[in-house]
Amino acid sequence: MRSFGLITALFLSLASPPLYATTFLPDLPSTTATIHIDGIMDDAAWADAIPIKINIETRPAENTPAPVETTAYLVEDGQSLYIAFDAKDPEPHKIRAYLRDRDSAWNDDFVGIVIDTYGDERRAFEFFVNPLGAQMDLTNDDVNQREDESWDAIWDSAGKINEDGYIVEIEIPLNQLRFPNVDGKQTWGVDLLRFYPRDHRYRFSNNTQDRSVNCYLCQFQKIQGLEGVEPGRDLEVVPTLTALQSSTTDDAGVVPLSSDSVDAEVGLNVRWGITPDLTANLAINPDFSQVEADAAQLDINNQFALFFPEKRPFFLEGADYFRTPVRAVFTRTVANPSAGTKLTGKRGKNTFGVFLAQDDLTNLIFPGATSSDSESLAQENTAFVGRYSRSFGESSTVGALLTSRTGDDYHNTVGGFDLRWKINDQHSVRAQYLRSDTEYPLDIATEFDQPLDSFDGHAAHAGYDYDSRNWFAFLRHVEQSAGFRADAGFVPRVDISQQVVGLGRIWHGDEDNWFSQIRLSGDWDIAHDDQGRLLEREVEAYLNVSGPMQSHFEIGALNRDTLANDVLFEETKLSAFAEFQPRGGLLLGVWSRVGDQVDFDNTRLGDEVRIDPFVRWNVNRHLLLRYDGVFVKLDTKDGARIFDAAVHDVRLTWQFSMRSFLRLTTQFQDIERNQASYTDTVDSRSRDVGRQLLYSYKINPQTVFFLGYSDSLIDDDNLSGLTTTDRTWFMKIGYAWTP
């Protein structure tokens, strides 16, 4: 790894530094008049606003005049930032807009603003609204080039479609933003956007976008204003009441369901903006549970633990502060906390985050080179995570991370450093080094074949990326020793050293082309364990085309040598992906794969056919149908069936208004196995059904009311049919109080 880093650094030192020309918009004006957020620009205060034209098409065309007219208006009153969008449309009947829950209108027409409140081109807040007022908000981490829609702010919006197009009004309270304490005016980067989905998904902006530059926030125009503004301390107190009544059984089909008494709990969440750039969170007896079901995943013939994203609000605040190349922080490992506290902030070039939680349940992953195992212990642990980073140069950072989980006869500590070095507009380097120290309870270590005493390990990541308008390339070195554990994170594979090299070419279409973009890419990788055994050697290539009806098509091929149960197999696979929108409100797609697949249960090579279809259909402005399916068939090379498996995830939502909806979710997994094809005894058929009916009413992300019912059913060779294993009624009330 050391030689890899020296060669990369020597190569990149030849690159020239970036040169950016900062341009300024007129100063942000102030008003004392009142603005009512209703989607009608009839308030006198809009006469004080600065108008900004959104007149540049950046996608699919490259910095050409936008074909439709859009004007944004900006003004502030010392407490809030107000933005209005007048979006003209010569064919208003083609506007795509539906009643939506938060963060779900990405396929609609919508407008919005991206604000780099520190002006340092590293992190930004994004606020978008569709023509009916549906909100979407997220953070943009330009250092790691990731957007995160899990962040939720409390803000107001409204939209109305008219005969000329539509108007959207937005109010963003300043106490929902983080920005520096400065003498004089604030200097913020601003990108004003309109997305116009028709045959293509057009993107319009007030900023040009240079596709040969690998940063986004660095290309913003700046705006100055808010001189002397110090918003009131951002204090948000959210008391919650949850109630749960469950009926369960320890032996389905034999022991009937037993009903528990109603379990009611009062909790408290406090969010305090100590300063505009420092935020504290406290949760006492919190409700950290998820309300909505995770996406269904097929759990058969898998080597490693499945990943499910975080959805709980307490952990989503400032989540990007804890993100590093190695996933050493994954907050869903905090399973059932009784209390938690968190502090996140940014001072000048310094960014930091700390959280501490007392957890009543200890979830563990035991990773390996070719598979992982897991266990859940009914014992408490204390979880701590600390993260610090300091910026330098052009969007570069150096940082440190420390995590710890401790309990009875158990501890896991991880610490190390990381670097993101942006050499210039095309070249960047990322690196991280971590060490861990771990000890498991003796009975757990014995059961899962782990070291009986304290043991340590390390993880390292080094990567180089080249991104330009027409070409991209990357190099990766990843190693995670057999003794490395990240129990506060998600690292299901260790005992591996992997090297990857990739290259790609991009062709951009113009108005005369039928396509908007074509990408051709490929990579080669090789991986060994700590003893030098070959774990994997793979070469793959993909061709991706974006075209009419917002379509995306991809074909791919790979050849791979992979180790399973100490046997090296050669796999060859072909894959295809397609999605398109034949009309507004209807998205159809499918991913498929055929070829060789290792049968891990029986240590042999088989033939696999896999098809994953999906549908997103807005039947009308209120009714949304979502369907995700997985169909897998695995046969032996002699043609004998091993298993047929299917997963269906169906969600039917009636959106009464922007604030309330009723959703029915049904998830069904069906697996049929040919017992003659298995070396061990297995059920010939197993079925799992999960159902949930949820009513949701949200005034904002914290002031909510949820009422729901869920149940689970199973069937296998020992049962006569689908049998109920549990039933649950639940309710949650939360109220966000802000002084």
pLDDT at residue 332, as a whole number = 84
List the Cα angle 682/683/685 in 5-degree steps.
Answer: 140
3-class state of residue 218 by DSSP = helix
* 236-250 pLDDT, tens digit each: 899 999 999 999 888
What's the burial of 35, exposed, middle or buried (CB within 10 Å: 0-12/13-18/19+)? buried
Task: Please give the Cα distance from 99 to 515 (Å, whole number).
Answer: 31
The region that residue 440 occupies, defined by phi over 0 for left and psi between -120 and 50 for alpha, beta otherwise, is beta
Q: Mean pLDDT in the chain?
A: 91
Give the Å distances, CA to CA, from 67 to 87, 153, 452, 550, 568. Answer: 12, 32, 68, 17, 57
Return the minimum-mean-pLDDT range out of 201-205, 370-374, 427-431.
370-374
The residue with greater pLDDT, 22 or 494, is 494
Which of 218-232, 253-267, 468-482: highest mean pLDDT? 468-482
- What the chain holds in terms of domains, given with CATH numbers, is 2-225 (2.60.40.1190), 316-494 (no CATH)
Task: Please give the Cα distance from 165 to 69 (Å, whole number).
Answer: 10
Task: Please give the Cα distance from 704 to 702 (Å, whole number).
Answer: 6
pLDDT at residue 308, as a whole number = 73
Confidence of residue 292 (pLDDT cuts 50, 70, 90): low
* 389-444 pLDDT, tens digit each: 999 887 789 999 999 999 999 999 999 999 999 999 899 999 999 999 999 999 99
Kindly state the DSSP code that residue 47 receives in the 8-state scheme: G
pLDDT at residue 557, as a whole number = 98
Task: Please give the Cα distance from 542 to 520 (Å, whole number).
Answer: 6
Phi, psi of 430 (to 5 degrees): -130, 145
Q: Helix H segments across 475-615?
A: none
| Cα maximum dimension of the chain | 79
* 604-632 pLDDT, tens digit each: 999 999 999 999 999 999 999 999 999 99
Report whether pLDDT(5) > 60: no
Instruction: Return the closest-CA partner of residue 143 out of 37, 220, 48, 216.
Output: 216
Instruction: Return the closest-CA partner of residue 139 out of 117, 156, 158, 157.
Output: 117
pLDDT at residue 294, as a whole number = 67
Report, as an integer, the average pLDDT of 461-486. 96
Kindly state the DSSP code that residue 447 receives in the 8-state scheme: H
Confidence of residue 320 (pLDDT cuts 50, 70, 90): confident
Return the minimum-mean-pLDDT range out of 108-117, 164-173, 234-243.
234-243
What's the burial of 679, exposed, middle or buried (CB within 10 Å: 0-12/13-18/19+)? exposed
Task: Please give the Cα distance from 642 to 676 (Å, whole number).
Answer: 8
Q: What is the DSSP string of 75-104?
A: EE-SSEEEEEEEEE-S-GGG-------TT-
pTM of the full structure? 0.88
pLDDT at residue 430, as a whole number = 95
Contact between 295 and 276 (Cβ < 8 Å):
no
3-class state of residue 444 by DSSP = helix
* 6-47 pLDDT, tens digit each: 344 434 444 444 445 679 999 999 999 999 999 999 999 999
The residue with greater pLDDT, 697 or 22, is 697
Confidence of residue 488 (pLDDT cuts 50, 70, 90): very high
Bridge partners (DSSP) of residue 580 are 588
* 111-163 pLDDT, tens digit each: 999 999 999 888 899 999 999 999 999 999 888 788 888 788 899 999 999 99
Kindly state the DSSP code that residue 16 receives in the 8-state scheme: P
Report, as an integer, the average pLDDT of 531-537. 96
Task: Please give the Cα distance from 677 to 637 (Å, whole number).
Answer: 11
* 271-288 pLDDT, tens digit each: 888 887 788 989 887 765
Report, as an integer, the average pLDDT of 659-688. 95
Task: Please give the Cα distance from 371 to 304 (Å, whole number).
Answer: 5
Instruction: Return the closest-CA partner of residue 556 out of 572, 540, 570, 569.
Output: 540
pLDDT at residue 290, as a whole number = 58
Report, as an integer, the average pLDDT of 667-673. 96
Report, as an integer, the average pLDDT of 44-70. 96
Q: Which residue has the tokens 């017992």?
A: 675
pLDDT at residue 512, as a whole number = 78
The region that residue 550 occupies, defined by phi over 0 for left and psi between -120 and 50 for alpha, beta otherwise, is left
pLDDT at residue 12, as a whole number = 40
Give the Å distances, CA to CA, from 85 to 29, 165, 291, 483. Answer: 16, 11, 34, 55
* 501-527 pLDDT, tens digit each: 999 999 998 877 889 999 999 999 999
3-class state of residue 501 by DSSP = strand
* pLDDT more than 90, % of the chain: 73
pLDDT at residue 273, as a whole number = 84
Contact between 626 and 613 (Cβ < 8 Å):
no
Report whether pLDDT(173) > 70: yes
